[in-house]
Amino acid sequence: MDLEEFSTGQRNKPLSVSYYQETPSYSQISPPNENVISDRWRPWWERYQPISYKLCTRSGNETEFRDMVTRCNNVGVYIYVDAVINHMCGTNAGAGNHGACGSYFNAKTENFPAVPYSVWDFNDGKCKSRSGDIEDYHDIPQVRDCRLSGLLDLALEKDYVRSKVAEYMNHLIDIGVAGFRIDAAKHMWPQDVKAILDKLKDLNTQWFSAGTRPFIYQEVIDLGGEPITGSDYFGNGRVTEFKYGAKLGTVIRKWSGEKMAYLKNWGEGWGFVPSDRALVFVDNHDNQRGHGAGGASILTFWDARLYKMAVGFMLAHPYGFTRVMSSFRWPRYFVDGQDVNDWVGPPSNSDGSTKSVTINADTTCGNDWVCEHRWRQIRNMVVFRNVVDGQAFSNWWDNGSNQVAFGRGNKGFIVFNNDDWAMDVNLQTGLPAGTYCDVISGDKEDNRCTGSQVYVSGDGMANFQISNHAEDPFMAIHVNAKL
């Protein structure tokens, strides 16, 4: 689960939580270290402009961060930190004490005494572009040694810089975090990333088995056509597969002649990285705003009906390690096709403080927090994924168009109708005989279904009727939802 804000094994193997079914087994949080305060409006992207490694942001201070990590770990929800280690703040951030903790910095002279970093700890001398920024994404040294959008690029080949970064990450490990998303990994040399990861401690044995390594996944935008690829980083951990959300959005939207029937070989067959290297998602904090990678095909909570189908498909399908988005709403305003409010930060009070997440009677969120992970359809598909874990992809069916179904061994089965006509089919589910609750239209409560029921006969067959006008034109059943 990718949380836009936090509030009050092996390195390459994700930690599992046995049947902690109502909650994802991990939560990715926004960068927790001190960032520049760009202006009084506090745009969301300021979290990606560090000025120190102190744990202090608008989400809370170190005491509050420790409390959150402890409480989450104690109920089996592990914290993955979004680690911004490629750079510090932008060159235009000025000088002063306008950081989240009040630490002094001077972006012009590249002086960050709260770390400390000085001008000698940045890549200015290595960058060969005229502007000092990345100008040519086909020039590998430029992509990795020059400034990304004006952000001061750290000299990660220096052991001092590597050690300061590792010191920050090890502090988080001591507190109890379970892993890291490595922001902007594409803009660092893979061997520099490896050198930092090699300095990391094993996870805290208060919550994790001795010798357990942090789970690592790296942000590498690789849509093809550039010399830097996701495979360059496989030795360090998983990589973000941005093609996943872009392609799935195109299919669910039925753009460019795509059909759900074509998803039969979804995964590596679509040119994605190997499943055991992939971190997959329908959308993230960048591309749901039109930033980053994916383009207009990306589905988000604004497209709720289609979005729930896409997330349902992702969570049912065995490919990759899945991440569900948890967003906040912002006042979109389009001018010439561009959302001019795409910078807006989290729901805030008049004094700039972040609004609390309120919980509605139906367990969804209020106060403009979207909390997609709490939507019944998505929450129940997280349970589905836990139940079918380790089961083979099976019993594929399609109508040659946009009605498809597939199972996961003898544990679960899911059916979609994304066509413009009603669906009424008998399908082989592979499930034991019995009456099942459809976990999309409702829940199983006290041995009854609050939504639709599905009857599986002794031979595994079941009838599925899904209107093309349904609020959610898909159904899912699993053995833990059997009456």
Catalytic (active site) residue 398: no
Say if residues 314 and 267 touch (Cβ distance below 8 Å): no
Cα–Cα nearest to 17, from 385, 364, 393, 482 = 385
Cα gap 117→154, rounded to integer Å: 9
The phi and psi torsions of 217 (rounded to 5 degrees) equal -135, 140
Cα gap 48→466, rounded to integer Å: 44
Give the C-alpha distances (Å, rounded to integers) separating 176 from 50, 172, 196: 22, 6, 19
Cα gap 117→113, rounded to integer Å: 6
Cα gap 263→147, rounded to integer Å: 39
The phi and psi torsions of 108 (rounded to 5 degrees) equal -65, -40
Say if residues 22 and 324 touch (Cβ distance below 8 Å): no
Say if residues 333 and 341 touch (Cβ distance below 8 Å): yes
Catalytic residue among 34, 46, 192, 219: 219
Cα–Cα nearest to 325, from 384, 385, 373 = 373
Strands of 306-380 (E only): list them.
321-322, 325-326, 334-335, 338-339
Q: Within 10 Å of residue 219's Cβ, how many Cβ atoms?
A: 23
Say if residues 370 and 329 touch (Cβ distance below 8 Å): yes
Q: For residue 389, what are the contacts with CB-CB under 8 A and spacing of at least 6?
A: 16
Catalytic residue among 5, 34, 82, 183: 183
* Beta strand 50-57 pairing with 60-61: antiparallel
Catalytic (active site) residue 183: yes
How many CA atoms lie within 13 Å of 253's alpha carbon, on the beta-carbon side? 15
Q: Provide the β-strand partners of residue 87.
A: 153
Residue positions annotated with a catalytic role: 183, 219
